[in-house]
A and B are shown apart, each in its own frame.
Chain A
Amino acid sequence: MNDQDDGPLWERAQENDGEAFAVLFDRHRARVYRRAMSLTDGVHDAEDVTAAAFYELWRKRKTVDVVSGSVLPWLLVTTVNLSRNHRRAATRYRSLLQRLPRGDELIHARNDEQMELRARLTTSLAGLSPADAALVVLTSLEDMPVWQAAQALGVKPATARVRLHRIRRRLRDDLHDLDPTPRTSPEGIYS
């Protein structure tokens, strides 16, 4: 899912190197922001979640799981979790987030179809445990192989597959049109 190896940068970042975090932000910002946009109520919430995801990357840098040389899986899991509980994320970084320069919310106004998709996605995810929600997002929306998603979530691939099978049955009707293309990957969830 990521053709750049974060390894050398991540080693620097773990030593509290700010410039390394800035480069990681440049590298992964767009993906994290897009995912946050799909799960939150507006541009400002998505900005908060994106900022908080990278701040969390720093705060938890000693325990972040790097998957296949990339911190993106961890960032995306965190983005899903923060989006599910956006107000709590904002509580931790409240004073920092309040200082972010804000543009005009309207310039990113989404069309009705996008709004409906987002509403249905977030409603469906809200009914799942945090780990299950992250599993769905990573595998079905981020094209991440199951084994990578499992590693990012700290579970065995076999466990992830069993969970996905269970979740798939539950969410198939809700979410199938978010990802209408049948997957042919050996571990794809939608087939």
Chain B
Amino acid sequence: MSHDMQPETSAAIRMELAALGTRASSLQRHQRRARVTASLVGVAAVALTTSAAALFVANAPGATVTSALGTTTTATHTGPALVDIGAAPSTAGAVIIDVTCLNRVGVVQVPTDDGTSTSGIDCSVSDSGTMHVTDGQLPDGGTQFSVNASPGTTWRATLQYASSVTSEWGVNAQGQTYGIENRQGHPDLVPYTADNGRKGWVLWEKTFGADRVGTVDVYETDGVTVIGRATPPVGTLPEVPLDRGLIDDLESVETAVPSPSSTP
């Protein structure tokens, strides 16, 4: 066979690889997400929002604040379903979703951000688990929100449109940005707690962007004043030990096929 890959597909993969080591790298963002996912496996609710953002103060620079808009829609289904949540208000930027598992089967997933990521809950470990997602993807032009699920999973979801405002990162006198990671990528300085317990900021590149992390300085937002030292956990690129059962559950997740009668 003399075939080579199609040029546009090849170019897309090449671009993804070339972006490694830069803030534009989806692969690195994806890897961090995967790590968070793995660390949550086995916990009743595997609820992921925008990576580390949820772990830090809600009003940090770069944080996304969502405010509920209008009415809620509640639906109960078994398996994947499209839920009609009406037309999006003009100010809507996200969908807030609360999912509750109603039986101990499979996985429920909802699309988040611009649809390139998902949040999921593993119902197989708890028949009453709940997941709260604030960055659900807006319906693509229509009114139907797609809840993906394993065929036998019974779930209840309450959905509501929300405004979504992401604040700007701060910039210090050195020109370094500081704040929390969001869908734009990461700033130069991100929050971290020093070994002495004080909360401050560390250089992303030396902490999360590095493969061999030693002890790093924890600064004030000025990026100069050192308030402590921190020793981030080693092994920043671990083999993600995905559980075989969870993989089977994840692979069983189906997407509802749009049709006029698909939302009873």
CB-contact partner of B18 in A18, A93, A103, under 8 A: A18
The proximity string for A residues 42-61 relative to B, scoring 1 for CB distances below 8 Å and 0 otherwise, is 01001100110011001111
Q: Is the interface on chain B under 10, 10 to 19, 20 to 34, or 35 or more residues? A: 35 or more
Contacts of A21 in B (CB 8 A): 17-18, 20
Residues of B within 8 A of A93 (CB): 30
Docked pose: A15 CA to B212 CA in angstroms: 10
A38 interfacial contact with B, CB 8 Å:
yes
The 8 Å CB contact of B5, one of A22, A29, A61, is A29
Query: Is B19 a contact of A99 with CB atoms below 8 Å?
Result: no
Please determine whether B13 and A95 come into contact, CB atoms closer than 8 angstroms. no
Chain A interface extent, by class: 35 or more
With A29-B5, A96-B26, A110-B1 in contact, is A59–B237 under 8 Å at CB?
Answer: yes
Instruction: Kindly state whether residue A16 has any CB partner on chain B within 8 Å.
Output: yes
Residue B240 interfacial (CB < 8 Å): yes
Asked if residues A37 and B1 are in contact (CB atoms below 8 Å), the reply is: yes
Per-residue contact bits, chain A 137-156, to B (CB 8 Å; 1 contact, 0 not): 00000000000000000000
Is A33's CB within 8 Å of the partner chain B?
Answer: yes
A167 to B27, CA, bound (A): 37
User: Known contacts A16-B209, A114-B1: does B21 contact A54 (CB below 8 Å)?
Assistant: no
Asked if B20 and A95 sit within 8 Å, CB to CB, the answer is no
B31 touches A18 (CB 8 A): no
* Chain B contact residues, CB within 8 Å of chain A: 1, 3-6, 8-10, 12-22, 25-27, 30-31, 34, 116-118, 209, 211, 237, 239-240, 242, 247, 250-251
Q: A-side interface residues toward B, CB under 8 Å?
A: 14-19, 21-22, 24-26, 29-30, 33-34, 37-38, 43, 46-47, 50-51, 54-55, 58-62, 87-88, 91-93, 95-96, 98-103, 108, 110, 114
> Which 10 pairs from chain A and chain B are nearest by CB?
A18-B20, A22-B18, A21-B17, A103-B6, A16-B21, A101-B8, A18-B18, A18-B21, A51-B13, A33-B5
